[in-house]
Structure 1
Amino acid sequence: MSNVLIVDDEPLARARVRRLLTMHPNYHVVGDADNGEQAVKLCKELQPDIVLLDINMPKLSGLEVAKALKLLAIPPAVVFLTAHSEHALEAFELAVDGYLVKPVTEQALTKTLLQLSKLNRTQVNRPVHSHITYQLAGAMRRVNIDDVVCCVAEQKYTRLIFVGGEAIIEHSLKQLESTYSQQLLRIHRNTLVNKLHIQSLHCSVSSGHHLRVRHYDEPLTISRRALKTVKQAMGE
């Protein structure tokens, strides 16, 4: 039996999804929410296996809720519900587990539930965030998070440096740090580095502490505030 939380600010939409779920006896609706803040609160209390989540909602959007849920110790599977296809890219970037266009049909819901049946909420080690998406020459591309070397803030954008290349993305360092907290380490207010690529720590009278990483020639400055955290990450 899988427990489901329905999140939508439209009562009729919630009722429709609840009614469709009655055709699937292995899925039990444990509750519903009509705004993003309530959704996060109920997820922490009820610990559902699956969250069917509308995107356009008051207080917190579905995108913001999904980001918050992915940070839980045991995150639920997240399926977006939306009438707006322009959110597909953001859903893709968040690595959500499904995407249903409203009004939800019985066939679409059944197909999504079959896909989700392969997932288990207790599979904590499944890679929730494994890629960063960027655009190049009008095409969407992905880079595996393990291949990301560092991220450097440059005015309104972030320079993503990875093995074999680099790209400009609109994600802020704060967003990247939150989403990929297991891999990316803050070493300065304008720099994140991938722990996998840390090579050596250096100190000089003129330039202070800096870090050398693999696949990038330039030394990266470490702030005083971050120095202790960097040393801990390096096992010093």
Structure 2
Amino acid sequence: MGKHIRIVVIDDEALSRDELIHLLKRYKDIHIAAEADSGEKGLEKIITEEPDVIFVDIEMGDMSGLELVSAIQKIKKPPLVIFATAYPDYAAKAFRYQALDYLLKPFDEEQLEDTMERIHQELTKKTLTPTFKEPTIGKLAVEDEGKIVYLIPEEIIYFYREERETIVCTKDKSYRMKTSLKELEQKLVSFSFFRTHKSYFVNLNSVKELIPWFNGAYQIKLFGSTEEIPVSRNYVKALREHLEL
């Protein structure tokens, strides 16, 4: 994205607030627009700062995080909501409030990284202006034994990252390339591919089954492949929204 992502952190526990802000500041495109130690003050900061994203605790003294999120739905451009809490029991209710994600304390850096990736994806979608596109006929070029092979994107089942290479998997063969998954996301934006994990990028038309795994994560089975592909818990909700009628 071309600009900084403005964030407001709302938590009545100072240590938790400080820890989360410290972790967020590691990301170069993040700007902490404000912080608040209560729901009411948080609401004021949201109105004055107009952040892109809020990280909000659920259990707070005066106004709970759920009450706060309910209140901001009435404003013209509500921010993306990430609940950050010590209580896992609120997860189902939180997503009914259209939260983008749900982080548990103490914060796990890998889970936060997944959350940041989802934030980037969501904000990028919001900035794209819908326009009519001619049908895409481009093919993906890969090298194979000194030759350049052109793959039709619809025939690719999935991609995964292995050390410094990306593996392209079709029904019949696998290919290696240097292109990162992030670059592939941009190249294949007009095709039915979806990031299920930081290391996996899947053709949604190949998805056969979604199988519960552990700790809120899933695995998927794909037509044309015997591999079971991991789905990080942070991607499950968005994956189902893309797949299901």
Compute the TM-score of the two structures, normalised by the length of structure 1.
0.51
Please state if 1:47 is matched with 2:50. yes
Counterpart Cα distance in 1 of 2:124 and 2:50: 10
Greater Cα shift, 53-62 or 88-97? 88-97
Counterpart Cα distance in 1 of 2:16 and 2:95: 23
Structure-2 change in CA distance of 1:25 and 1:16 (3 Å): same
Asked whether the equivalents of residues 77 and 121 of structure 1 are also in contact (C-alpha less than 8 Å), the reply is no
Structure-2 change in CA distance of 1:122 and 1:3 (3 Å): farther
What's the counterpart of residue 15 of structure 2? Answer: 12
Please state if 1:57 is matched with 2:60. yes
TM superposition shift of 1:78: 0.4
The share of aligned pairs that are identical, in percent, is 31
TM superposition shift of 1:36: 0.5
Please state if 1:115 is matched with 2:118. yes
TM superposition shift of 1:123: 3.4
1:78 pairs with one of 74, 81, 102? 81
Counterpart Cα distance in 1 of 2:74 and 2:7: 18
Measured on the aligned residues, the alpha-carbon RMSD in Å equals: 1.9
Asked whether the equivalents of residues 74 and 122 of structure 1 are also in contact (C-alpha less than 8 Å), the reply is no
Q: Deviations over 1:157-190 (max 9, x none)?
A: xxxxxxxxxxxxxxxxxxxxxxxxxxxxxxxxxx
TM superposition shift of 1:92: 1.8
Which structure shows the bigger proportion of residues in strand conformation?
A: 1
2:41 pairs with one of 29, 38, 61? 38
Count residues with an aligned counterpart.
125
Q: Deviations over 1:191-211 (max 9, x none)?
A: xxxxxxxxxxxxxxxxxxxxx
What secondary structure does 1:20 align onto? helix
Counterpart Cα distance in 2 of 1:122 and 1:63: 25
Compute the TM-score of the two structures, normalised by the length of structure 2.
0.49
Counterpart code for 1:79: I
Counterpart Cα distance in 1 of 2:77 and 2:52: 9
What secondary structure does 1:6 align onto? strand
What secondary structure does 2:121 align onto? coil
Counterpart Cα distance in 2 of 1:92 and 1:2: 22
Q: How does 1:1-236 map to 2 (within 5 A)?
A: 1-120=4-123, 123=126
Counterpart Cα distance in 2 of 1:112 and 1:30: 18
TM superposition shift of 1:81: 0.6
What secondary structure does 1:81 align onto? strand
Unaligned stretches of 5+ residues in structure 2: 128-245
TM superposition shift of 1:104: 1.0
TM superposition shift of 1:114: 0.2
Counterpart Cα distance in 2 of 1:101 and 1:82: 5
What secondary structure does 1:120 align onto? helix
Counterpart Cα distance in 2 of 1:65 and 1:117: 23
